[in-house]
Structure 1
C-alpha cells in the first residue's frame, strides 16, 4: 500500500511539473464498469431481453451471480444496412477522455453463446446532441467478438471526449446478441466542451496538396466564414504534430493531417479567432498552444495572442490578456507556446491569434484552470473493487491529498533521488573528461596552436602510437562523441541472434582486425552536432579507413596554400549556418583574385577562370569561423582541418583559398559557388521533358545536365577515395553549383538550419543523416568508402528526382531505421527508393541498386561508378 502511495505521489509530482495536456498513451485506465465504480443507475439500455439480462449486467468480465452475465436487447439486432437501434448506454457523470473500449459476449458458464460481431459507438457531452464515432478514415463499424468468452479491446483512433457513451450492436444476419463492455481513459480536466474556429484550408507546396482541415471535428462544419462550431477534434486529441507538417504520427494519411492551418490572405484583419466553451466557470491560469514554425516553407508561430473572457451569458470582457512573441529566426521546431491567462474567471474564452507569416498551423490546444492538471486515472465513485482489470493493473486509488505528511515524504524522497542522480551524472562527466584528457595528451602535445609546421615528419610508427583514441582517417564533418552521449549501434543490435560474424563479413571487417575504438572499448566513431572536420590518425585495421603511406603527405610537408588573408577585406553577406564550435558565413572577398591566380592547382584555377574583371573584383567565398571560447581540442581539430583542406586539390572538391589565424576567431576561407547548393538549385528547376513546361515559372534542366552533375560528384568522390578519405555525409545539400553546371563537393549541409530535418537526433546531441546512410553505418557505426557509395546512390536518386522530396519521405525516422534492419535480415522485406521517372532502367538496376547492395564488398567502387556514368552519357 505504501509503495502504491509513493507511486501516485511520484506520478502527481511529475505530472504537475511537466504535463498540462492529456497523453493518450498513458490515459488508458478502466473507468469502472468492471470494478463497480460506475453505478447501476448510470447504466441504461433501449431494451432488455429479460430482467436477468438488464443493462446493469453489461459489465465486462463481471458476474455477481444474480443475472445471466450480460446485457441482451429484447429484439434481434438490426443489420448494418438498416442501422442499429438498440443500445447500451453508460453515464460517466463527468467528461472523460476515452481512448479504448473493450467488449465481451455472454457465455453464462457454458449455458449461453451470444455475442456482438460488430458494433457502433455514439457519444454525447450533454446528453442531447449525439455524435457517431468514426475512425480517421471515416469508418464507423468496429469489429467485435468472435466468441462469447474472449475480451476484445479496440483503440479509439481518434479518441473521444464525452460523458455519455452508447454501444450499438449490429450483425450481418438476424441473431440474438449480448454484450459486456468497459471504457478506458481518464477524466477530462480541461472541462473544454467545444471550440469554434474557421475551417482549415489547403496549401499547395511544390505541387503537393497539403490539407490542413480538422478531419475528426465532431461539430457542425460550415463555410469558411462560419467554419467549425460546437465540436471538438484534432486540437484536443492529445497528439501534436511533427516539426515537418508534411509528415504525420498517423500512417497512411495525407500531408498536413496533424495540423489545422490558415493562410494570411484569407483573413483581412490579420488574425484567426477561436472560441472555447467550457462546462462551468473556471479560474484559468494558462493556455498551451502547439504551433508549427517551419518558416523555410512560409509557416510561423502566431505573432500575438489576445484572449477575451466571458462568464455565463454576459458580454465579453473588454480587457484581453495579450502575449507577444519574438520572431524565431533560428529554430524550425514545432513547439508548445504557453499563454498566461492571469487567473481570470470565465466559462468561455475567445482568442485571436495574429499571423506572423503567410501560414499559421496549430495542432493542439490545452488549458489549465485552478490547480487541476491531467491525471492518468479516473476518480472513483464508491461501490466495489475491481475483479479483473483490463488492461494492466488497477491504478484507481485516489491520492489522499489531506495526508500532508505522506505527500511531503514523497516529495522529499523524490528530491533526494534527483540529487543523487545529478551527483552521479556530474561524477561520470568529470571521470570521462579525465580519461579523455589522458588519452588525448599525446595528440595535444603533437598538435600545437601554430598553423604550419614546415618539415614535420609523421612516421607510421608514430601514427600507430597516436591511435590510442581509436580514431580513423576520414573526411569527417563533426567531432566524435563518447558512448555516454550516444548509445552505440553495436549495443542496440547485440540482442539479435542473427548478428554474428556475418555482419562483419558483409560490412567488410572482422573482429580479429578491428582496431581499438574511440571513447571506450566497444565504441564506434559517429556524429555530434558540430561543424568541424576531424581527421584522426589510426592504424590500418579494416574496421575503418586510416591514413596510409599514400596520403601521409597530407599532414606533412610545406603548407603552401595556407595564406593569411586580411579580415577587413571580407564583407559579410549571409549566415549559412552554425555548428557546435563555430559558424559558416557567406562573404565577398576583395583582392582574393591575386591569391587565386598564384595558385598553380587546376582546382583553384577553375575558380580563377570563372571570375571575370579586375583583381579587385570581389569573389564569393564561404568563411568558416571557430568560436573564441573554443577549447584546445576544438582549436587543434580546426587547425588540422585547415592543413588537410589545403592539400585537397581536385576540380570537383571545394578548395581552401586562405586563412585568418593571426588573431581570434580562427577562420578558413573556401570557395563558394554562385548558384548555391545542389539541393536548392535542383528544387528550383524542372526537367525540360515535362509537358506542362509552358505553364511553370521554373527554369529547366535536361537529363544530360543531371547526369553530368552526377558524374562530377562521382569524380570528386573518386579523388577522395584514392586518398582513403570517407566523407560520411554525401548528399546534394553538400554539393555546390557553379557556372555551366560545375559541381564541387563541400561539407556545409549539416550546419544549415534549412537541412536540420535531414538529420536524426539521438539523445539531443548526436545527429545522423540516416536517410543517406548504409545499413552497416546505422547498425554497426561503421563508415567506409563502401558506405559513401551507398550515400552516392541516394544522392544520384536526389539528382534524378530534382530534389522534389526527401529520401523515404513516406517514412518517419524510426521507420527508416526499421527498414535498415530489413536490409540486414535480407528477407525481401526491405524497401528501396523507387526509380525516378527520368531514370533509365539500366541506370537504376545496375548503378543505384548496385550502390545499395547488402554486402559492402559487392558494391561498385567510385572508379567503376565514374566509368559507368561516362558510358551512360555516350
Structure 2
C-alpha cells in the first residue's frame, strides 16, 4: 500500500484555506446545519422562524423574519452555530420569495462573529466598513466576499435598515474547516516606514480582531507580494499585506509571538511567509526558537525547538520558511524570531499538527482492575478484526483495479458498468428525432452522488450495432436487459418530461411534482392572433412539429411594452408549431412544455411571449434575438462588429450564460443541451439561453445518432450522463465548461474535433476509471489561465468537485471587474 505522508496531507489541506479555494457551502441549504443550530433574537411567526432561513429553500413561509417592523436602531440577528472553527470566506443572502407571494428582503446587513460564544466581534472590511450591501429583490441570491475572511464558530447576520420596514432573510455561509486549530495569537504592534517624498508604509496588523490574543492578518490566507510597498487589489495602503517590525525597537533583537490552540496538539512544523527585499533592509529572520506549553495553566517547557535559516542576498522574492517542530506537544507555542537586518516582515503563519487526546505531563499511576482489563482485551480484539476487514477490502480493491487496468481501452463487452442511457424510446422510421416514453429524473439537490466501486458495477456494455435494430419492434433502446437495470442503482427517482420536445427542441428536465403542479394551472401567457404571424424561415423540425422564424405584428402592443410610435413595428420571434395530425400524447406534452416555459422569467432565458392554442396547429411564440445564435455570431461575426472577439465581450457573454443557468438551477431545472448553438445573441452582446439547437439541421453533426434515430450531444455531455444517464445541474456545469471552450475558440472548432464519436464515448470511460488516461479539451490562445482553470473544475470527475453556477457566476463577475 502506498501511504501518503501525514505532513503532505496536512499541507495540502492547509492550501485549501487559500481564499480562492475555500468556498464550499457549509450546510444551510443542504441541511447539514441542523435546525437547532439556527437561532434568532426574535421571529414574526412560527412559520418565519430561524430554521427557515435556508438559502434556496422555501419551507414554512419562506424565510426568517424578525418580529415587527425593523427600526434603524434595532439589533435583530440570525445566529448560526457551526460547532467548530470554520474559515468563512463568502456569504449568500436572499429575500422571502415564498413561491412568488413574498416581498420582503434585507437591503443591507452586518455580521458579528465569535469563537467561544462569549466575546462577539463585529466584522469590518479592509476599509473599516461594517455594513454589507444585501438584496434588491426577493428571489435572486447575492453573494458577498468577506475580505478579510472570518475564523469563527458562531455567526450572527444582522439586517440593517435606514427606514422602518419588514425584513426577511435566507442565508448560506461558504468556507471550510479551520484545520490549523489556531484559536488566537498575540504579537507586538507593527511599525511604519516614513521616507521623505514617499507615502507612509503601515506594517500593522490591520485586521486584528482584538487587543490581545486574537486572530488577524497572519491567518487570512493572503500572501504578501515580493515588493512589500505594494498590496493586493484591496484599495488599501502600501505595506498592507505584511506585519513588520524594526530591529532597533526590540532590545532583545527578536520579536516574540504567542499562539494558542483549540486543544493539545502534536506539532510537526510551522510555515512562515516572509519578505526578503534586502535592498530595502528587509530579510527573513535569522533564527527562530519555540517553547511549548502542554496546558495553559503550567509553565513553558524549558527546552526550545530552534532552527537557523540560510540568508539570501541574491533573490528578493518573498518565500515560505518551514520550521520543523519535532513532534512537540502543546496547547500553546511561544516563538522568538531573531532579526537578520533592519526590518522583518511576515504575511502568514500556519502550523501543521495533529490533535492529541489524553496526553498530559503527568503519568497515571492507578492500577487497572479486572473489569478494565477485560475492556482492554475486548478493544484489542475489535481492533484486530477491524484491521482484518480493512485488509480484505484493500486486497479486493487491488484485484478489481488490476482487472480494470487490463480491460481493453475501447468500450466493449468486458468494459465497466456503462450504458448510454436507461431510456425507453419510441422509434419512428425516417426521423432523426426521438420521443421518450418512460423518461426519469435525477434529483438535482443536493449534488452528492455516491459513486459505487467498479466491482459492484461490472456489467456488459450494450452493443452499438445490431441491438437497436433487433429491438425495433419493442421500441426498447439498445436491448438492455432487465437484470442489468436491477443490478445497477436506477439513476432516477421521479418522472421527467422528454429529452426532446415534441417539435424537436431540447426540453428541460423538470421534477414530476413541478410538472404536475404546472398542469393544474392555466397558461400564464396570452393568446396571440395567429393572423399577425408571418413566416420568414424554417429554423428546424422534429418528430411532431417545426420551429419557424417569424415576424409578429403588434407584438409589443400585445405585451403592453411599446410606445405609440413603435406599436405597429413587427418583432422577430421563434414559433414552435405542432403538426395538426399528432396523437393525444404529443399534444399533451406540447401543452406541458408551454406551461413550463411560461414560468421561466429571467433576463438571460428565452421567454415565452404568447401562444396560439384555440385551434390547430398549436403554437408557442418565444423571443428570438436579432443576431442569431452565439455559435454563428462568433464564427461569422457581423462585419460591423470589430470587437466581437474581444476578451471582455467574451467574458461578458459567458457571465450572462452563467447567470441564466444559475436561475434554472435555482428552480431545479436541468437544461441538458447547453452549448453556443443554444444561446441567442442580441444587441450589445446580450445573451439569452434557448432550447431549439437540437432541431436545426445546421447542427446535426453536433449530435450522436444511435442507429440513425436517437440523438445525444455527447461532446458536451458529462461522463455520467453518457454512461449512466444521470442529468443534474452538475452535468449542466460540465456542459458550461465546454461552452466556455467553444467561445474561446470563437466556435471555429467542434469539441474533441480530432476524436470520432466512438472515441469520445471511449474517453468518457477513461473519466469513469480515473486512471489519468482521460483526454481534456486543451487551452486555447484566447483563453486566460484563470478561465481555463474554471473549465477544468467544471470537468471534474466527481460531481461534488464541480463548482455550482452561483460560484461560476460570481467568479466570472470578478473576472469582469478585474478586466475593467
| TM-score, length basis structure 1 | 0.41
Higher-Rg member (1/2)? 1
Higher relative contact order (CA 8 A, sep 6+): 1
